[in-house]
Structure 1
Amino acid sequence: MNTDRQIIHMDQDAFFVSVEVRKNPALVGKPVIIGSLSDRGVVASCSYEARKFGVHSAMPARLARRLCPHGIWIRGSMDEYSKASHEITEIIQGEVPLLEKASIDEHYIDMTGMDKHYGTLKCAKEIRSKVIKETGLPISFGLSVNKTVSKMATNECKPNGELSIEKGIVQPFLNPLSIRKIPGLGEKTFIKLSDMGIKKIHTLAQVHPEYMTSILGKNGLWLLQKAKGIDESPVIPYHEQKTIGTQCTFKQDSIDVETINHLLTSMVMELAFELRQKKKQTACITVTVRYSTFEDVTKQMRIPYTALDGVLITKTKELFKQLYQKRILIRLVGVRLSNLVSGFEQIDLYSESEEQYSLCQAMDKIRRRFGPDSIKLASGIDLNL
């Protein structure tokens, strides 16, 4: 285990709200809530002022209105938030050797070895200052020996903060924190451990590995490692992050555009389901067409972060329409989703497709129980091309 790593975690402060405040400075210091304007929706994000009233993301809008009746509600725009996210990524990427984009509003930076030539803490401060200066958006960072501890450090110093946890003080930093602060620890596990009297990280770190395995399986050992400040997961270079895709070669070359559009619908639905299962969202679609002449043509489109079927199907069909200009037979079509980041929980919760989001959840529930092919849109039925 390399305990001399230098990992920076950078996280935007109330990102969606910050973008709205940049656009309208009159919102500074106000209890701003981003989400659906109807009571049937949920909160996508909220300002720290609104959080003081108990409001939090994914909370039903009806409850949020009751807790914070004077809150200022904004529908929000994933298009604007995606653009701001790309803006920040480009700034950070130009300053560091190794960058991972973990979600729409957070990044990990591996500066291991660079501290011999240039102080990592100084570098982190300068990057943070540059982001704030060039975008007008607040950002916080934590610096430590691995991704888990640096993320927890960021969470402790937000909003608008900086915190460095050196190797020698990792455990003293973690010990007094609630186990709830461990990234990835779910609500059910939190309740189970709390009922056993394990509420602080210090207590959790003392539990015997065999006992943790007996009550939580492999997840128990993973959690125990986190409580001890151990995390060897690498920072994954942004440009190498995995894409997902699919393609279909026709039994007979086709020029039936309507049928091919139905096929694209089916393909995108499968990819979108896979995205949501992995709790990912995409910001880029690529469509490939191979003609009967074996000539491949490809077109790509950057889109607001999403994992919703409807949005992806519409954009995919737009790309295919732009691509297919030649009136010659098609042998193959392919779709690839890239620029993947984590965070499906917060996507499109306030968008024009509130019903679409609910539909996706309902369809996914059926797929998980009866298989991925158990339910499809009428326009995505199986086709014998």
Structure 2
Amino acid sequence: MFLHLDLDCFFVSAHRTVDKTLENIPTAVGGRSNLNIFSSQKELRKVSENGGAFVSTILTNEGKKSFKEYFVDENGRIRGIVTTASYEARAFGVKTAMSVNEALKLCPNLKMIPPNYPLYHDLSKRLCELLKKEIPLVEQFSIDEFFGDLSGYIKDEDVEEFAFKLKQKIKKELDLPISIGIAPSKYLSKLITEHAKPNGIKFVRKEHIKNFTKDIPIEEFPGIGKKYQERLKGYGIKTLGDIEGKKDLFYSWKKPGIELYNRVCGIEDNKLNLQRDKKSIGIGRSFDPIYDREELIRRVIILSRYLSFIVKKTDKNPLSYALQIRYESRIKSKNFVNVNRIFNEEDFKANIKELFLKNDNHPSHGVVQLNITVYNFSKENEHTYNIFEYENDLKKKKLGNEIQALREKYGVDIIKTASEIKKEKD
């Protein structure tokens, strides 16, 4: 039997663990693109040590800032989007991804809170540790979602009581509300959690699964995106019950179709992903249009430093780097470079800067977003590196390790290059 555990309104719930005045009132956490990494001012920033689907997040605590300090820009405009809304706020129509401005119009008494990422990651890590002590196999699916495999550990007739006691323990030790779905397979347990919310437990036995899912719309099943929904509806498939009788159709679509069919029907969906291996690592920022190319290059260098720090923490060695530039006119420019050497910050910055210079195809347009990604990971002992640069790369790696240790201790901004310091205009 499988459990899916989903923390309710996690970011809001996290703030309520340290501020009880937020209980039972419309509350939302809102976010803005973290542009303070481009500031020349000193600030302690670290990177999450958590694994899972949210690895390598830059941890900044904006929670001490007032509404005006965080959500109101220099022109007096309210900026940001809602990342999490409490159920009290949802009753007014406030939703995730809604602009803060729109949310406040729907709910004038809404308590908007700046994010506190260190708090979220600390609670998530503590919950993961708690679950691993209680459940033999645990998969962290995201910052606020977990799967647990109870097969051979808890009898089916005892699983609901086990989930109830686990829920009580989480509330007692972490003060967090959590919803739990229980089913014979992994993705069905995730589906069922939606019917356990808020702050409840829902158990559907194997013999009742077919009847329970038959009328559920396909868009409610985890992993069916909008394009796939359109494709299914083109075949007259609107509910999960419509899927079961079309095995031949789904199997003709090879791996994606077979996986979806099996998940919906609870077939061969009994393995947890206990160690998520990221295929790429990236960082990006959106901002108001910038026309100054020197400032854009400065930001490219800063993003490269942060991504370099993240890559070093994960002990990866990427052989491919990609840069995407998005302009105010919605035009995008994207390109990549393949390298054949040991990763180091100095050369990485140079490569990304060169990518920007070569692919800034619309120099008269303002840039509103920069994204950098690394992928195609190799291991140092695979000996795929350029032998002519190998010794030099090892020296750069040694220096990089020393800088990394300082940044681990004192923050990512403790060591910067001169090109990252913003020049004051005369």
Q: What interval of TM-score do these two structures reach, taking the shorter chain for normalisation?
A: 0.5 to 0.7
Are positions 1:51 and 2:90 aligned together?
yes
CA contact (8 A) 1:8 1:144 kept: yes
Return the alpha-carbon distance in structure 2 between the equivalents of residues 157 and 53 of structure 1.
21
Return the alpha-carbon distance in structure 1 between the equivalents of residues 187 and 278 of structure 2.
24
Alignment gaps of 5+ in structure 2: 32-70, 73-77, 286-299, 316-322, 340-344, 353-388, 393-426
- The residue identity in structure 2 corresponding to 1:181 is E
Return the alpha-carbon distance in structure 1 between the equivalents of residues 272 and 242 of structure 2.
29
Cα deviation code 1:52-80 (max 9, x no counterpart)? 33332223334333433432211111111
- The residue identity in structure 2 corresponding to 1:371 is F
- The residue identity in structure 2 corresponding to 1:335 is K
Larger Rg, first or second structure (1 or 2): 2
**Match of residue 277 from structure 2:** 242
Are positions 1:370 and 2:335 aligned together?
yes
Return the alpha-carbon distance in structure 1 between the equivalents of residues 324 and 109 of structure 2.
32
- The residue identity in structure 1 corresponding to 2:243 is L
1:222 deviates by 3.2
**Match of residue 364 from structure 2:** none
Q: Which structure 2 residues correspond to residues 300-315 of structure 1 after superposition, within 5 A?
A: 313-314=305-306
Return the alpha-carbon distance in structure 1 between the equivalents of residues 304 and 88 of structure 2.
35
**Match of residue 3 from structure 2:** 8
Are positions 1:382 and 2:346 aligned together?
no
Cα deviation code 1:115-135 (max 9, x no counterpart)? 249933322222111011111
Alignment gaps of 5+ in structure 1: 1-5, 245-269, 277-307, 320-333, 339-358
**Match of residue 183 from structure 1:** 222
CA contact (8 A) 1:96 1:109 kept: yes
- The residue identity in structure 1 corresponding to 2:95 is H
- The residue identity in structure 1 corresponding to 2:351 is D
**Match of residue 21 from structure 1:** 16
- The residue identity in structure 2 corresponding to 1:160 is N
Return the alpha-carbon distance in structure 1 between the equivalents of residues 166 and 130 of structure 2.
8
2:151 pairs with 96, 103, 112, which one?
112
Change (3 A) 1:126 1:56: same
Are positions 1:335 and 2:370 aligned together?
no
CA contact (8 A) 2:187 2:269 kept: no
Change (3 A) 1:315 1:204: closer
CA contact (8 A) 1:205 1:228 kept: yes
Cα deviation code 1:263-300 (max 9, x no counterpart)? xxxxxxx7326x99xxxxxxxxxxxxxxxxxxxxxxxx
Cα deviation code 1:104-148 (max 9, x no counterpart)? 111111110112499333222221110111111101111111111
Return the alpha-carbon distance in structure 1 between the equivalents of residues 258 and 126 of structure 2.
38
**Match of residue 331 from structure 1:** none
State the identity as a percent.
28
> Which piece of structure 1 moves more, 156-165 or 18-27?
18-27
1:226 deviates by 3.2
CA contact (8 A) 1:34 1:44 kept: yes
Change (3 A) 1:218 1:90: closer
Q: Which structure 2 residues correspond to residues 85-164 of structure 1 after superposition, within 5 A?
A: 85-116=124-155, 119-164=158-203
Return the alpha-carbon distance in structure 1 between the equivalents of residues 307 and 247 of structure 2.
52
- The residue identity in structure 1 corresponding to 2:312 is V
1:34 pairs with 15, 29, 43, which one?
29
Change (3 A) 1:147 1:116: closer
**Match of residue 263 from structure 2:** 226
**Match of residue 330 from structure 1:** none
Cα deviation code 1:322-371 (max 9, x no counterpart)? xxxxxxxxxxxx82428xxxxxxxxxxxxxxxxxxxx98849x968x533
Change (3 A) 1:213 1:87: same
1:208 deviates by 5.2
**Match of residue 290 from structure 2:** none
Return the alpha-carbon distance in structure 2 between the equivalents of residues 128 and 361 of structure 1.
45
Return the alpha-carbon distance in structure 2 between the equivalents of residues 51 and 119 of structure 1.
34
CA contact (8 A) 1:209 1:221 kept: no
CA contact (8 A) 2:177 2:199 kept: yes
Q: Alignment partner of 1:30: what SS?
A: coil
Return the alpha-carbon distance in structure 2 between the equivalents of residues 22 and 204 of structure 1.
42
1:25 deviates by 1.7
Return the alpha-carbon distance in structure 2 between the equivalents of residues 315 and 361 of structure 1.
16
- The residue identity in structure 2 corresponding to 1:271 is I
Change (3 A) 1:236 1:225: closer
Q: Which structure 2 residues correspond to residues 217-366 of structure 1 after superposition, within 5 A?
A: 218-237=255-274, 240-242=275-277, 271-272=281-282, 313-314=305-306, 335-337=312-314, 362=326
